[in-house]
Amino acid sequence: MESLAENRILIPSDAPRRQEIEEALRNEGWMPLPYRDIGEAETKINDAAAKAILLSGPGDDTLSLEFVKKVRTTCPQTFVVGVGEKRHEDGPDTMLHESCTPADVTTAIRLGAALHAARVSERALRSELNSAQKVVRAQGLRIQELEASCQSLKKWAHTAQALALRDELTQLYNRRFFFQTAAQQLERSRREQSRFAVAMIDIDFFKAYNDTYGHVAGDHALRWLAQILLGNFRRMDTVARYGGEEFIALLPETHNAPASTSFDPVAFLERVREAVAQTPLPHPNQPNETAQITISAGVVQYPDGGENIDDLVHKADQRLYHAKESGRNRVVGTDPADQDDETQDANTAT
């Protein structure tokens, strides 16, 4: 029954040689259903879907052309074979001349069915193509959004990483970055048999300054000193805030030789100390008043001061402590015992 329903074809009840056409159609496996007018054809299509309809006079009959349009809209699986003199671009799928034979009708219907199936497939493919294009466009927009989000995340990650390695108050590097850089420098120096120095720097009498002027002024002093340090250390040096009022610096490519081309880290720290001592510190809330801040520093070189970073930092900190015990506002680059030996040797020579 389903195959018969699929092979229904409507033919005009007044079609010439109708009985012969119906017999030829039955031989082709069709189930002819006659209709008297367009209204009855439309009713029969609505009641029982037909695969094809034979339509007379669609070339000139406006009512017939409107019916063809309606069939294509409401029953896209139904194809129309027209019999008439004229063709119309909105007319049936296949046209037959009025003098056609029943064999011509069956041949036209066979060809019309194939053409209609091709058109239905084309429409389905175009619909799928349009849907795919919409999906591709949507995916393209999504990819653009994801790329923009990825770029934002990269910028955020870069900023977050930079912030994670910076001291929030002074914007100098923090301890973590210093030790990472120092570990890399240690490996490089071991490989190249080169020297580098570590310097611990501390603000003299900073607690008294804080107690006198307040912590806001103390924070201002720390930022001020950070800028002076950045302005005086070399680009290759790493300056970081160690904690509180203490700072630490890594100075690569140092030498002990007294030649004019060599780099002496102790003499260099002396110049930094003088720059700090000679630069007045303006008060944040009293711009017409200034204060004088000095620093003390302890300097140690690799490999003389230790074979690893912890030893070097510990030795530099000991020399910083000795600088403070010796009166502050000075740089110490040797151990107290070494200084005593040098003094004793000088006295003996005298």
Q: How far apart are CA 25 and CA 6, in angstroms?
A: 14
Strand partners, 328: none
Place of tokens 């007294």: 258
* Continuous segment of H or E residues that includes residue 326: none
Q: What span, in angstroms and rounded, lies between the C-alpha atoms of 122 and 304?
A: 85
For tokens 């159609």, name the residue. 25
Q: 81 near 96, Cβ under 8 Å?
A: yes
Of the candidates 6, 66, 245, 274, the residue annotated as catalytic is 245
Instruction: Provide the token pair at 138.
Output: 């949507």
Instruction: State in Å, rounded, how far the first CA of the chain is from the last one.
Output: 131
- Tell me the residue type at 301: Q
Active site residue 289: no
Q: Which contiguous run of DSSP H or E holds residue 240?
A: strand 238-243
Tell me which residues are annotated as active site. Answer: 245
